[in-house]
Structure 1
């Protein structure tokens, strides 16, 4: 029998839709302070570029184009600047101090197709060439999805015989072999769709489907690579897979030793505590067949179970992490008390971009591939010319001196 004190579906829907959306992202709700005013702003088809001249420059001279990563909605200049420059290592400040001009590339919709946003990146590249004083080659790359956007943009320009004048391509923890959002989180997003569709919309967005190695469109679905991912990979192969002219470098926020992040397969990661969600439990992904990853309950008495087969122990794999379970718990705990959605993240994070994916050296379909000690591999197995992995598994796109200075040292 239902608890008479539990909220109705309508009350819960009003609470969810009246609050900030549940979105899986590293981005905080608001920047601590505004970004500096740019020296120039370019309005592009599908996005905006904010231009900051390097030390001693009064015009664009040594352009470094840096593309934003995945999220829902438009790029936020203040948040992007804060992420890149206000942490442990002031990446943008150091770039400008060394005489590079920073072109921050944002998109009107970060969850749109990578192929569409690559058109915006191509426009920014050609605009930089036309605005540049002198003939110093460009450096072009991006954070996370931004590394894939610019990878495709450069390769397509070459395929179309357009001179992109780029000497260095770089990516920062980009999922070249695919990214991972736990099936448990995807299932929960779709399970609450009728109450609030925004979380599900993010998981089903074109970019998410192109990025994720395994995807479900409905909570009952069997995980598979999305057809949109297959189409994106086909499009990438059609333009040569990688740009050939630039030197290609990348960094990973995961380690090269093959050591995981300590999350045990099958460990309970999240549990519902409020009246509306008690019975919901999420688990870390386990290898093998018929593995329980979620039990779902929101408002109703039903408790369907989500099970997977043939997936690896990927939540604990070496790589850049995302606090997916923590983000979910924090968002639900911020709802009004009457919503009955109090929750606890027993483990906050999971692997998001496996180390082998960020340096394009192994697929991410099996434990043997995910936990490969990259340091022991021949770097020629990668599509990159040079790469560096972090000394510890750390948050996805964490800007550290270890990785940030390595990139800057190699820019033209």
Structure 2
């Protein structure tokens, strides 16, 4: 973790200027944001005990770490727990929510039976932190899933799975709970709070329109043919934002219902 953060000698330069650095690396960064925030609360208390509150702290959180830092410091202020922090820096943190296109999210469960790597990514998508940060989560948004299996009698068996995902975009309940808690905590008030972003700030749109196709994927081998299509969220009535089909070829005739 130290080497990852020490890009362009950042950490070494800070140390050479007389700063002591403490890096909090979570055992499970995909756990509930609240749980990791309470771990940060304990760390802040431990550091203040060691230095006897002689020097104010600076807390920096990148990406989800900014949400963790915000929650921890605001929680400490709400319940009168001294944090001795003069500056809180939130870097590229999704305070208004993160976004992964719903159509792309639906690709993961569709392909999860074909790849161990995809199953790993699906596990991360289904983690508490992902459900809390994503504005829309596929598990809360799907309204209909249709899977059909058909087989024709011939030398080979063709098993076709067809999945279409109409949707109503929704946040996961874990996100709703987190937003409710944050609304009562707000941002820390006893620190100087700075937010930084890698974005340009010009709000330039991307090169596709609502409802446009984003991904067209196809793969064919001796025994399997896969197709998957994802689309951007439309502005009008719900339509399919992901569709896919799988054609499996077996070496004997079977009947699937």
TM-score w.r.t. length of structure 2 = 0.76
Q: 2:172 aligns with which of 226, 229, 253?
A: 226
SS in 2 for 1:163: coil
Taking the TM superposition and a 5 Å limit, the aligned residue runs for 1:90-109 are 90-109=9-28
Cα distance in 2, alignment partners of residues 250 and 204 from structure 1: 28
In structure 2, the residue matched to 1:211 is 133
Aligned-residue offset at 1:84: 2.2
Aligned-residue offset at 1:259: 1.7
Segments of 5+ residues of structure 2 without an aligned counterpart are: 146-164, 250-257
In structure 2, the residue matched to 1:153 is 72
- Does the Cα contact within 8 Å between 2:168 and 2:238 map onto a contact in 1? no
- Does the Cα contact within 8 Å between 2:40 and 2:72 map onto a contact in 1? yes
Q: 2:107 aligns with which of 170, 181, 188?
A: 188
Taking the TM superposition and a 5 Å limit, the aligned residue runs for 1:6-405 are 77=1, 81-86=2-7, 89-132=8-51, 135-194=54-113, 197-217=119-139, 220=165, 222-238=168-184, 240-260=185-205, 262-265=206-209, 266-275=212-221, 276-299=224-247
Aligned-residue offset at 1:189: 1.4
Segments of 5+ residues of structure 1 without an aligned counterpart are: 1-76, 302-412
Structure with the largest fraction of helix? 2
Aligned-residue offset at 1:264: 1.8
- Does the Cα contact within 8 Å between 1:193 and 1:200 map onto a contact in 2? yes
1:246–1:134 Cα change, 3 Å: closer
1:273–1:163 Cα change, 3 Å: same
1:299–1:131 Cα change, 3 Å: farther
- Does the Cα contact within 8 Å between 2:53 and 2:84 map onto a contact in 1? no
Q: Deviations over 1:37-79 (max 9, x none)?
A: xxxxxxxxxxxxxxxxxxxxxxxxxxxxxxxxxxxxxxxx3xx
* Cα RMSD after superposing both structures: 2.4
- Does the Cα contact within 8 Å between 1:141 and 1:151 map onto a contact in 2? no
Give the number of aligned pairs. Answer: 218
